[in-house]
Amino acid sequence: MKKIFFALMSLAVVTQGFAQSEKFTKAMTTNIAQFDSAKTADDMLAVSASFERIGDAEKTQWLPYYYASLSEVIYAFMKNDMANNDAFAQKAEQLLNKADAAQPNNSEISVVKAMIATLRMLVNPQQRWQQYGAVIQTEIENAKKQDPTNPRPYYLQGQNLRNTPEQFGGGCATAKPMLEEAIKKFDAFKPASGIAPNWGKSQTQKVLDGCK
């Protein structure tokens, strides 16, 4: 009798655990699909909130907060309301800090850190260039060191160079090799799982196409 008890008990526990992780993966997959297909800033904000809900419920997972922060950053870029970037950046930073605590020294998180610094810089580039320019650079370098196979720091650096005036050492000429390097890395990149970060290739291609 005791055997049946334990058998059922363990079945229950396993099923529960399995159901939980399946539920997590399923929710993440759905959200990532929405993230990939978000067309408007408002869609992106809804995706961010949705990821945050998963993060708050799971607590130990870094990916939900990572995506929540990333989509908050992209939301801010889509919204293009520079004066309020500090508020969006602050929210994205709070989310990313939780991801960072669960998964320190992660290359993908460093990429988002660089993106948040970019948001803050854009509030007033003339005054903030020195402060946040240095942060962007450091975080991109960190991301490359933490995972040399990660194509996203290369994409980010290429995009930044593309947006820098030629007189300041930017423009297509310097951006192109960086973007091509990124594409090569994207081709070779194998995400750790179905829900691990795997975005950016099409964006890179788009920036690269704009340079032809």
Partner 1 sequence: MSNKYTAMHHLLPLLILLLSFLAGSGQTVISGKVKDGKGRPLQGASITIKDTYDGATTDSLGAYHFKTTEKGEQTLLTTSIGYKLQEQKITITGATLHIDVLLKQEPNELTAVTITAGSFEASDTKRTTVLNPIDIVTTASANADITSAIKTLPGAQQVGESEGLFVRGGTAQETKVFIDGTLVNNFFFSSVPDIAQRGRFSPFIFKGTVFSAGGYSALYGQALSSALILESVDLPEQSSASVGVSTVGLNAGFQKLSKKKNASWGVNYGYVNLAAYFAAVKQRPDNFKIPEFHNGEVNFRIKTSKSGMLKFYGYFNFNDLGLRRPDIDSTDLKNAFRLRNFNIYGNLSWKEKLGRKWHLYLGASYSTNTDKIGNELQDQHNVPVIIPFEPYDTKSFNVKSTGELAQIKTVFERRLYGLSAIRFGGEYMYFTDKNDFTNYYTTNGIVKADDHFKAAFAEADLYITNDLAAKIGSRFEQSSLLNKANLVPRLSLAYKVGNKAQASLAYGIFYQKPEKDYYLRGYAFNDLLYTRATHYIANYQKVSKDYTLRIEGFYKKYEHLIKTYGSNNNGIIDSVGNAGFGDAKGIELFWRDRKTLKDVDYWISYSYLDTKRDYLNYPYAIQPNFAATHTASLVVKKFVTKIKTQFNGSYTFATGRPYYNFRYNNSAGKYVIADQGKTISYNNLSFSVNYLPTIGNTKAKKFVVWVFSVNNVLGSDQVFGYNYSYNGLRKDPILPTARRFYFLGCFLSFGVDRSDDVINNNL
Q: Which residues contribute to the site for partner 1 (CB under 8 A)?
A: 1, 4-5, 8-9, 11-12, 15-16, 19, 23, 27, 42, 45-46, 49-50, 52-54, 56-57, 82-84, 86-88, 91, 123-124, 126-128, 130-131, 133-134, 137, 164-165, 167-170
Amino acid at 117: A
Q: Give the nearest distance from C-beta 201 to partner 1 in angstroms.
A: 25
Q: Give the nearest distance from C-beta 46 to partner 1 in angstroms.
A: 4
Burial of 150 (0-12, 13-18, 19+ CB in 10 A): buried
CB nearer partner 1, residue 146 or residue 170: 170
- What is the gyration radius of the CA atoms in the chain, in angstroms? 20
CB nearer partner 1, residue 96 or residue 186: 96
Whole-angstrom Cα distance, residue 138 to residue 128? 15
Q: What does each C-alpha distance from 58 to 22, 107, 207 come to in angstroms?
A: 13, 22, 36
Q: Give the nearest distance from C-beta 12 to partner 1 in angstroms.
A: 5
**28 within 8 A of 58, measured Cβ to Cβ:** no
- Tokens 């992660």 correspond to what residue? 106
Q: Give the nearest distance from C-beta 188 to partner 1 in angstroms.
A: 27
CB nearer partner 1, residue 120 or residue 152: 120
CB nearer partner 1, residue 8 or residue 196: 8
- HSE, CB side, 13 Å, CA atoms: give it for residue 121: 18
